[in-house]
Structures are given as C-alpha cells and as structure tokens.
Structure 1
Amino acid sequence: MDEGYGTDPNLVTPDAPWPGGLNDQQKKLVAVLGDIILPGTDEYPAPSAVGIVKFFDEWLGAPYRTQQKDKVTIVTGLAMVDQASQQQFGLDFVDLDGSQQRVVVDQIASTTAADRSFFVRFRSLLLNGYYTTDIGFKAIGYIGNVPLHEFPGVPPETQRIIDDELRKLGL
C-alpha cells in the first residue's frame, strides 16, 4: 500500500514538520538585525514583534534546495556580522548599542562590501516574511481575495495599451 505524501497541512495553526535552522544566538541576531533594517513605527511593529524570527527559523530549517542554500548564506552572514562586531567593538552584535550596530550594518550593506550576498538575501527574506503577515498586509494596503459586487472593467488607458499590443501581434 502506498503511504502517500502525508497528511494535509494544518493552515489554521501551521507548524513546520522539520526542526528549525537557527540556534538561540542566531535567532537573537536575526531579531536585532531585522529591527534595524525595518524599524517599527507607532502604527506598525518591528519585525521581531510579528514573528520574523520564527519565519527565518522555519525557512532555513526546511529540507528544500533553495532554503538549504539560503541557510548557508544566512548562517555564514550572521557569523560575519558577529565577527565584524568583535573586531570593531569587542562584543557580539546583539550586545552592541544601537549606534555601534548601525555602524556594522552600514559596513555590511555598503556597495563597497566585498560580499553583499548575505545582506541582499537577508533583506529579501525579511521583507518577504514581514509583508506576508497580517500587519504587513495592512501596511501595504493589501485587502486580499475579497468578493466584488461588480467588476469595474479594465481602465480605458490600459485597454488602449492592450489593443495596441494585440494589433502589433496581428491578433
């Protein structure tokens, strides 16, 4: 008898079926670094307050090729952040004050940095994770898949562009 692929996922209270990809120190660093890159406001909380650490932990723990590649990039980059902090200030990144942390982040994010792949990927995951939360949806004005009482149709300017392109294609 074929076992199949497993049970359907629980979308009400989702939980990853694999262990996380980060240790406690890395989780702390993700929280602090995420909040520096995308600081909270009075209206929208910082990433650490909406579960970004759990997002990173689950993403980097996933057994898929893309996530495993990301794990190498992110874990190596987090170690680089702590190494830079130690070299400059003699402390781990999470133990630095805010101005010292920003100095380290500015250096890593600099266009002159030898390897920006960590920062670029970290920032991408951070933004993707944050803006797919309920708070993130609200921040960008996304209302989701909602029923419309009527469909307003394609705006006239857009329709002209479509018609022009179809004519060019001979359709």
Structure 2
Amino acid sequence: MPPISRRDALRKLAVVAAAPALLSACRGEDVAGSAMRHAASGGAMQPAVGAAPTFFTPHEFETVRTLAGIVIPADERGPSAAETGTPELIDWVMTDELLGDPTNRQTLIRGGLAWLDAEARDLGAASFVEASDDQQRQLLDRIAYPESATPADEAGVSFFSLFRNYVATGYFSSPQGIEDLGYLGNVARTEWTGCPDDANAFAARTV
C-alpha cells in the first residue's frame, strides 16, 4: 500500500468525525436545520479568520496557530490550517457551552499548551513557539503516536489527540478544506437517486 500523506490521513479523520451527519443527510434527515436550530438557541457564531481570541492568552493563541500549521502545513493542495480560521475555531470551541460543559476540554487543551512549553524549555528553548523546527518535531513525535509513547508523555498524548481532531475538523469545514474534499454543496441536478451504496456503507460502519 502506498504511503498516505498527512493531509489525506487527517482528511479521513475529519470524514469519520462527520460520518453521523453524512448518514443523516443520505437518509434525508434535516442536518442543516439542526445546525440552524443550534445557532438560534443561543450558540455563538463562529469567529472570522483573524478574530482576536476570547479564551486563549496571546501566547497560547500563538502556540495554537503554530501547532495548527504543523499539523496541516501548506502544500500544493492548499494553505496551512493556521491560515483557514482553524485556530479561531478552536478558540471558539473552548467556550461554546452548547457543545457541552467546556471545563474538561479547556483544561486538557490549556494544560497541553503549557506542557509543550515546559518540554521545549527542557530542550533549551524559551517556549514551543520559539523552539527550532527540529525541536518542535522532536516533541511532537513523542506524542503523535500513542502506541509508542511513554507513560511519562501520557498527558501530552491526550492533549495532542484532541487538538489534532480539532484541527482536522476546523480545516476540512473551512472553504479551503471543503474544496480539498471535493464537496460540491447544493449543486443543481436533474435527478437524485440518493447517496451511493459505498457512501452509505462507509457511513454505517463509522457510526
């Protein structure tokens, strides 16, 4: 099997995360209506690209931006996650109570950012943002592969697993990520016979 790129791996992660909505859409359920009801019931609107953070400190947000750009870097298919509003989305997710009690995710993400800085200082850098590319990747290699991580890095693994999910979701729900997915949206068709069998089968396997 040929090697899979990081962007394609995260693309699959984002699709799996969206599988319940995909299955609902294929069954004709009102997914868009549910999202609109969420907004109407008091959910905050997602922030624009470049919006100032409301949860993260300036340094934390700089770390979020740096890390998002490492998780999905710019390539020939599109910009990095840092350029698509993904950091702003992660900041928004930290405080939207309609997504559930934010305490646990706030603690895990903020604690993970502090963990990165502490580990970067052990390598001689002032912070993760100020560490060299090699130092940053050295740290991330320790927590990106849970099956080979040491018990001492368990907190970092938990943080990075959640953060990577947020980046994949944020990027592939952005206009640039949707284009990368090849999603066509509401395109007029002369006939509709429902989702293909393979799409239905995939969605059913992942819910």
For structure 2, list consecutive stretches of 5 or more residues without a partner in the other structure: 1-38, 202-207
2:82 is the alignment partner of 1:53: no
Partner of 2:134: 99
Counterpart Cα distance in 2 of 1:55 and 1:121: 14
Higher relative contact order (CA 8 A, sep 6+): 2
Shift of 1:8: 4.5
Show the counterpart of 2:181: 140
* Cα distance change, pair 144–108 in 1 and its aligned pair in 2 (3 A): same
- Checking the alignment, whether the CA contact within 8 Å between 2:94 and 2:102 is kept in structure 1 is yes
Matches within 5 A, 1:54-133: 54-64=88-98, 65-111=100-146, 112-114=149-151, 115=154, 116-133=157-174
- Unpaired runs of at least 5, structure 1: 1-6, 163-171
Q: CA deviation at 1:133?
A: 0.5
**Residue type of the alignment partner of 2:54:** G
Structure-1 separation of matches of 2:195 and 2:145: 43
Q: Is the 8 A contact 2:125 2:131 kept in 1?
A: no
**TM-score (normalised: structure 1):** 0.75
Which one has a bigger Cα radius of gyration? 1
- Write the distance in 2 (CA, Å) between the matches of 1:86 and 1:153: 55
Amino acid across the alignment from 1:90: A
Tell me the distance in 2 between the aligned counterparts of 1:21 and 1:79. 15
Is the Cα–Cα contact under 8 Å of residues 46 and 89 in structure 2 kept in the other structure? Answer: no
Alignment-derived partner of residue 9 in structure 2: none
Match of 1:167 in 2: none
Q: Secondary structure at the match of 1:89?
A: coil
Q: In the aligned structure 1, how far is the partner of 2:67 from the partner of 2:106?
A: 16
Give RMSD over aligned pairs: 2.8
